[in-house]
Chains A and B, each alone.
Chain A
């Protein structure tokens, strides 16, 4: 396998395209246009995935290429599902996932609701609020460790400014009980704007005429909120939750820079654990099985969720 498929395509396609370009049918053009994309995705996404599945049944180790590879069947899967450490990791991931989604939906929706009141200059402030989510999570996550420093960090200073006490008395990253919240806070800071933007689109899609009708029927504002605003914005809210759910299940860059999974294992999310198994302990077969389990979980949960989302949309 020395780059041959890529070379072959590169050699063949342009000439054939050049020769026949005039008389091509739509169907052929469609295939010529779609083929490179599908090919690249097969090569860089699907082929590796199949390889991962194959490796997951072996005890292969990347750092010992000359050792005989043994076919171990389902033993890797068995070991993972019986490993209590993995369940700790899953718990840490669930804590992170649930709290980031709850906070981001609450804050994001509130902000969108307020921005939708169309006060002067709301465009400018919306753009400012959006900044954090566009930036590199690794670079920003690294800088949050500076904000979280016990003695000199801005975060500790601001918190103790309002609550009193000594800014050196607690460490967001070093404390077993605080670290899970440190990553939730940083992620919420970064991704609330995402939920906000989607909610804003939802709120703006509700036609004024519905509220006018409700006003004629003398429905209270409170009632209008619960019977018009929430149900009509719900599909958008659910879409935001889907995106955040998938993204945070995969979460790696922000948290690995912020806490590195520590202290102990309290912020070791699945991706960080997987990275350790695969690229530090070099248990390639074992970590491949781990990767397959994660992928099946995301894919399964996402499919169920999308079905629910479509039901809500149809209502």
Chain B
């Protein structure tokens, strides 16, 4: 390693390291607390002082995925011995499982709407970004700024007419409506990010392909797309995370068939009021995939969150 006068001293590095690690530990505690609470029994979850060491149980997860009713002793006797491990957990609390809860459906809605809007957004976004990157589009800068400015509107402000429009079109509370809406919301991000990624691909490759007799269209999907693959993948993950986390439109425009998980999770109610282990279990299942994606994305994080304004 070469020595430079600007290298931080060993002591500075130690100090910086300790300070950053301390911050990281403090900042991660609420997340660890969510995950831990998911494995606590209701009593442990509201114990004072808060318990760190506890006997893990899957009760929260059972309560998350099932609806239960309070059972009298007579009913319990009639129902016979518990057949499965989750039956047993419910019985031990004096309840019987009456059926699956809505969480599975809501989670599936999040998956359908998230992936659907991401796919559509990538198709439209890649095409528009390619055009903006390679061709002389009239009013290019104005159009690009227009695309970005759609992000400045508070979601609630456009929600009123979208609510009316969707009601007229029969799109309220449908998967298609939410997919179109999230696609529109994410388009600004995907066009801006992808334009940056495509700008970085030298035009010589396409020019060579065009001379070899490719059409523009072939050059686009045979030459440019494969080279932009990393950029497209990371943009897609960003769109997916935004759609996955979105709350305002979901809570205003969906209530039943197309409701996603974020408006649902806070409203999980147990037999005795708020069931925190179940809420935490639902949150854990919902949040952990995003954490995994964050690790995958770490090289492109900065670009994504700044709409491509900052490139490392």
Give A contacts to B, CB under 8 Å: 1-3, 21-22, 24, 26-27, 29-34, 36-38, 40-41, 43-49, 51-52, 55, 62, 107, 111, 114-115, 117-123, 125-140, 142-144, 146-147, 151-154, 157, 167, 189, 192-194, 197-198, 200-201, 204, 208, 211-212, 215, 236, 239, 243, 246, 249-250, 252-253, 257, 270-271, 274-275, 278-279, 284, 287-288, 291-292, 294-295, 298-299, 302
Contacts and interface: CB of A to CB of B under 8 A. Distances in A.
B247 A138 contact: yes
Nearest to A54: B161
14 contacts: A36-B124, A37-B128, A37-B187, A41-B147, A48-B158, A62-B163, A125-B21, A131-B27, A135-B287, A212-B4, A215-B5, A243-B305, A278-B156, A295-B154
A45 B150 contact: yes
Nearest to A194: B305
Interface string B250-278: 01100000000111011000000000100
A194 B244 CA distance: 19
B131 A30 contact: yes
Interface of B: 4-6, 8, 12-14, 16-17, 19-21, 23-24, 27-31, 33-34, 37, 46-50, 124-125, 127-128, 130-132, 135-137, 143, 146-147, 149-165, 168-169, 180-181, 183-185, 187-188, 191, 215-217, 241, 244-245, 247-248, 251-252, 261-263, 265-266, 276, 279-280, 283, 286-287, 290-291, 293-295, 298, 301-302, 305-306, 309-310, 312
A36 B127 contact: yes
B27 A119 contact: no
Given A132-B27, A143-B30, A152 B156 contact: no
A122 B298 CA distance: 13
Contacts of A31: 131, 137
B128 A33 contact: yes
Given A125-B21, A139-B265, A152-B50, A253 B247 contact: yes
Contact of A295 (B33, B152, B165, B287): B152
B247 A136 contact: yes
Most buried by B among A45, A154, A278: A45
A154 B33 contact: yes
Given A40-B180, A295-B157, A118 B135 contact: no
